[in-house]
Amino acid sequence: MKAPEPWTITIDGPAGSGKSTVAKALAAELGVTYLNTGAMYRAVALACQRGNIAYDQQDQVTDLLQTTTLAQVGDRIILNGTDETETLDAYGTEASKIAVFPYVRTFLVNIQQQIGQQQNLVSDGRDQGTVVFPNAALKFYIIATAEVRAERRLQKLKLDGRTADFEQLRLEFIERDCRDMTRSAGPLVRPRGATVICTDHYSETELLNLLLKEVRACCLG
Protein backbone atom coordinates (compact mmCIF):
# COMPACT_ATOMS: atom_id res chain seq x y z
CA MET A 1 0.00 0.00 0.00
CA LYS A 2 1.34 3.46 -0.91
CA ALA A 3 1.96 6.02 1.86
CA PRO A 4 -0.50 8.96 1.94
CA GLU A 5 0.72 12.07 0.11
CA PRO A 6 2.28 14.53 0.51
CA TRP A 7 4.87 12.72 2.59
CA THR A 8 8.20 13.86 4.01
CA ILE A 9 11.39 11.97 4.75
CA THR A 10 13.52 13.85 7.28
CA ILE A 11 17.29 13.56 7.61
CA ASP A 12 18.75 15.31 10.63
CA GLY A 13 22.29 15.32 11.91
CA PRO A 14 25.38 17.38 12.66
CA ALA A 15 27.41 19.37 10.11
CA GLY A 16 29.62 17.30 7.84
CA SER A 17 27.94 13.96 8.57
CA GLY A 18 27.04 13.42 4.92
CA LYS A 19 23.32 14.07 5.39
CA SER A 20 22.97 16.78 2.71
CA THR A 21 24.74 14.72 0.06
CA VAL A 22 22.60 11.67 0.74
CA ALA A 23 19.41 13.75 1.08
CA LYS A 24 19.99 15.30 -2.33
CA ALA A 25 20.76 11.91 -3.90
CA LEU A 26 17.76 10.28 -2.27
CA ALA A 27 15.41 13.03 -3.47
CA ALA A 28 16.77 12.67 -7.01
CA GLU A 29 16.35 8.89 -6.86
CA LEU A 30 12.73 9.24 -5.69
CA GLY A 31 11.94 12.13 -8.06
CA VAL A 32 10.85 14.49 -5.25
CA THR A 33 11.97 17.88 -3.95
CA TYR A 34 15.05 18.17 -1.75
CA LEU A 35 14.45 20.78 0.95
CA ASN A 36 17.79 22.36 1.87
CA THR A 37 17.02 23.95 5.23
CA GLY A 38 20.69 24.58 6.06
CA ALA A 39 20.87 26.83 3.00
CA MET A 40 17.94 28.85 4.36
CA TYR A 41 19.78 29.53 7.64
CA ARG A 42 22.89 30.37 5.62
CA ALA A 43 20.84 32.83 3.55
CA VAL A 44 19.68 34.63 6.70
CA ALA A 45 23.34 34.88 7.79
CA LEU A 46 24.19 36.33 4.37
CA ALA A 47 21.36 38.87 4.71
CA CYS A 48 22.80 39.90 8.10
CA GLN A 49 26.24 40.40 6.64
CA ARG A 50 24.83 42.48 3.79
CA GLY A 51 22.86 44.54 6.32
CA ASN A 52 25.94 45.03 8.55
CA ILE A 53 24.23 43.24 11.41
CA ALA A 54 26.37 41.29 13.87
CA TYR A 55 25.37 37.63 14.20
CA ASP A 56 24.73 37.93 17.94
CA GLN A 57 22.29 40.87 17.72
CA GLN A 58 18.92 39.16 18.17
CA ASP A 59 16.76 42.31 17.94
CA GLN A 60 18.44 43.57 14.79
CA VAL A 61 18.28 40.15 13.11
CA THR A 62 14.57 39.98 14.01
CA ASP A 63 13.99 43.48 12.55
CA LEU A 64 15.83 42.54 9.38
CA LEU A 65 13.52 39.59 8.79
CA GLN A 66 10.50 41.92 8.71
CA THR A 67 11.72 43.15 5.32
CA THR A 68 13.33 39.94 4.06
CA THR A 69 11.86 37.45 1.60
CA LEU A 70 13.25 33.95 1.29
CA ALA A 71 12.15 31.04 -0.87
CA GLN A 72 13.40 27.78 -2.28
CA VAL A 73 12.44 27.55 -5.95
CA GLY A 74 13.40 24.17 -7.39
CA ASP A 75 16.83 23.71 -5.84
CA ARG A 76 17.66 27.44 -5.80
CA ILE A 77 17.60 29.68 -2.74
CA ILE A 78 16.11 33.07 -3.53
CA LEU A 79 16.87 35.85 -1.06
CA ASN A 80 15.06 39.15 -1.62
CA GLY A 81 14.37 38.19 -5.22
CA THR A 82 17.96 37.19 -6.07
CA ASP A 83 19.33 33.66 -6.56
CA GLU A 84 22.05 33.38 -3.89
CA THR A 85 22.53 29.61 -4.03
CA GLU A 86 26.17 29.77 -5.10
CA THR A 87 27.07 32.33 -2.40
CA LEU A 88 25.96 30.30 0.62
CA ASP A 89 28.72 27.70 1.05
CA ALA A 90 30.90 29.91 3.24
CA TYR A 91 28.19 30.76 5.80
CA GLY A 92 27.91 27.53 7.85
CA THR A 93 29.31 28.85 11.13
CA GLU A 94 27.48 32.17 10.80
CA ALA A 95 24.24 30.28 10.10
CA SER A 96 24.72 28.31 13.29
CA LYS A 97 24.97 31.61 15.23
CA ILE A 98 21.74 33.18 13.97
CA ALA A 99 19.97 29.78 14.18
CA VAL A 100 19.84 30.10 17.99
CA PHE A 101 17.27 32.94 17.77
CA PRO A 102 13.67 31.67 18.14
CA TYR A 103 12.27 34.26 15.70
CA VAL A 104 14.68 33.17 12.97
CA ARG A 105 13.57 29.58 13.51
CA THR A 106 9.85 30.44 13.43
CA PHE A 107 10.37 32.47 10.24
CA LEU A 108 12.09 29.55 8.47
CA VAL A 109 9.98 26.75 9.96
CA ASN A 110 6.85 28.42 8.50
CA ILE A 111 8.39 28.52 5.03
CA GLN A 112 9.51 24.89 5.31
CA GLN A 113 6.13 23.63 6.50
CA GLN A 114 4.33 25.47 3.69
CA ILE A 115 6.56 23.74 1.13
CA GLY A 116 5.94 20.40 2.83
CA GLN A 117 2.16 20.84 2.58
CA GLN A 118 2.38 21.00 -1.21
CA GLN A 119 4.69 18.17 -2.24
CA ASN A 120 6.61 15.06 -1.28
CA LEU A 121 9.98 15.98 0.22
CA VAL A 122 13.32 14.77 1.40
CA SER A 123 14.30 17.38 3.92
CA ASP A 124 17.57 17.75 5.81
CA GLY A 125 18.58 19.88 8.77
CA ARG A 126 18.66 19.80 12.56
CA ASP A 127 14.99 20.01 13.57
CA GLN A 128 13.19 18.43 10.65
CA GLY A 129 12.01 15.26 12.39
CA THR A 130 11.34 16.98 15.70
CA VAL A 131 9.83 20.44 15.09
CA VAL A 132 9.14 20.97 11.39
CA PHE A 133 7.76 17.58 10.32
CA PRO A 134 7.06 15.62 13.53
CA ASN A 135 4.68 13.36 11.57
CA ALA A 136 7.18 12.58 8.82
CA ALA A 137 6.71 9.23 7.11
CA LEU A 138 10.31 8.26 7.79
CA LYS A 139 13.08 9.83 9.87
CA PHE A 140 16.83 9.39 9.77
CA TYR A 141 19.51 10.68 12.12
CA ILE A 142 22.87 10.68 10.36
CA ILE A 143 26.04 11.07 12.41
CA ALA A 144 29.83 10.70 12.05
CA THR A 145 32.72 11.26 14.44
CA ALA A 146 34.38 14.69 14.42
CA GLU A 147 37.64 13.06 13.29
CA VAL A 148 36.08 11.52 10.19
CA ARG A 149 34.18 14.72 9.39
CA ALA A 150 37.36 16.82 9.68
CA GLU A 151 39.31 14.39 7.49
CA ARG A 152 36.59 14.40 4.81
CA ARG A 153 36.43 18.21 4.85
CA LEU A 154 40.24 18.39 4.60
CA GLN A 155 40.26 16.11 1.55
CA LYS A 156 37.49 18.14 -0.10
CA LEU A 157 39.36 21.40 0.50
CA LYS A 158 42.54 19.84 -0.96
CA LEU A 159 40.61 18.83 -4.08
CA ASP A 160 39.55 22.48 -4.40
CA GLY A 161 43.21 23.49 -4.17
CA ARG A 162 42.86 24.90 -0.65
CA THR A 163 44.63 24.07 2.61
CA ALA A 164 43.38 23.78 6.18
CA ASP A 165 44.47 22.42 9.53
CA PHE A 166 42.93 19.08 10.55
CA GLU A 167 42.79 19.95 14.26
CA GLN A 168 41.20 23.33 13.60
CA LEU A 169 38.54 21.72 11.40
CA ARG A 170 37.87 19.09 14.06
CA LEU A 171 37.44 21.74 16.75
CA GLU A 172 35.16 23.83 14.50
CA PHE A 173 32.88 20.82 14.03
CA ILE A 174 32.76 20.20 17.78
CA GLU A 175 32.03 23.86 18.51
CA ARG A 176 29.22 23.97 15.91
CA ASP A 177 27.74 20.68 17.22
CA CYS A 178 27.73 22.14 20.70
CA ARG A 179 25.92 25.34 19.62
CA ASP A 180 23.41 23.41 17.48
CA MET A 181 22.69 20.87 20.25
CA THR A 182 22.41 23.18 23.24
CA ARG A 183 20.20 26.02 21.97
CA SER A 184 16.75 26.13 23.50
CA ALA A 185 14.79 26.46 20.22
CA GLY A 186 14.87 23.53 17.79
CA PRO A 187 18.11 21.95 19.06
CA LEU A 188 19.74 19.11 17.20
CA VAL A 189 18.51 15.92 18.86
CA ARG A 190 17.74 12.46 17.59
CA PRO A 191 14.05 12.47 16.68
CA ARG A 192 11.98 9.77 18.35
CA GLY A 193 11.64 6.82 15.99
CA ALA A 194 14.50 7.94 13.74
CA THR A 195 16.84 5.36 12.24
CA VAL A 196 20.35 6.24 13.42
CA ILE A 197 23.22 5.70 11.00
CA CYS A 198 26.89 6.48 11.65
CA THR A 199 28.49 7.15 8.28
CA ASP A 200 32.13 6.73 9.41
CA HIS A 201 32.58 3.52 7.42
CA TYR A 202 30.13 4.05 4.56
CA SER A 203 30.74 5.43 1.10
CA GLU A 204 28.12 7.82 -0.33
CA THR A 205 26.72 5.01 -2.50
CA GLU A 206 26.51 2.56 0.39
CA LEU A 207 24.71 5.14 2.52
CA LEU A 208 22.23 5.96 -0.25
CA ASN A 209 21.48 2.25 -0.76
CA LEU A 210 20.92 1.80 2.96
CA LEU A 211 18.39 4.63 3.03
CA LEU A 212 16.69 3.43 -0.15
CA LYS A 213 16.15 0.02 1.41
CA GLU A 214 14.30 1.60 4.34
CA VAL A 215 12.35 3.94 2.08
CA ARG A 216 11.13 1.07 -0.07
CA ALA A 217 10.19 -0.95 3.01
CA CYS A 218 7.95 1.99 3.99
CA CYS A 219 6.25 2.02 0.55
CA LEU A 220 7.58 5.51 -0.26
CA GLY A 221 8.87 6.40 -3.70
Residues near ligand DC (CB under 6 A) are: 15, 20, 37-38, 41-42, 92, 95-96, 99, 125-128, 176, 180
* CA distance linking residue 204 with residue 182, whole number of Å: 29
Which whole-number Å values give the CA distances from 161 to 21, 38, 151, 155, 158, in the listed order? 21, 25, 15, 10, 5
Residue nearest to ligand DC (CB): 38
Q: Which is nearer to ligand DC, 7 or 107 (CB)?
A: 107
Cis peptide bond N-terminal to 6, omega within 30? yes
Minimum gap (Å) between residue 60 Cβ and ligand DC? 19
Q: Taking phi first (over 0 means left), then psi (-120 to 50 degrees means alpha), and beta for anything else, what does residue 31 get?
A: left
* CA distance linking residue 134 with residue 130, whole number of Å: 5
Minimum gap (Å) between residue 92 Cβ and ligand DC? 5
Q: Which is nearer to ligand DC, 160 or 217 (CB)?
A: 160
Minimum gap (Å) between residue 201 Cβ and ligand DC? 22
Q: How many CB atoms lie within 10 A of CB 207?
A: 21
Minimum gap (Å) between residue 200 Cβ and ligand DC? 18
Minimum gap (Å) between residue 81 Cβ and ligand DC? 22
Q: Which is nearer to ligand DC, 42 or 213 (CB)?
A: 42
Q: Which is nearer to ligand DC, 142 or 217 (CB)?
A: 142
Q: Which is nearer to ligand DC, 23 or 32 (CB)?
A: 23
CB 157 within 8 A of CB 90: no
* CA distance linking residue 50 with residue 144, whole number of Å: 33
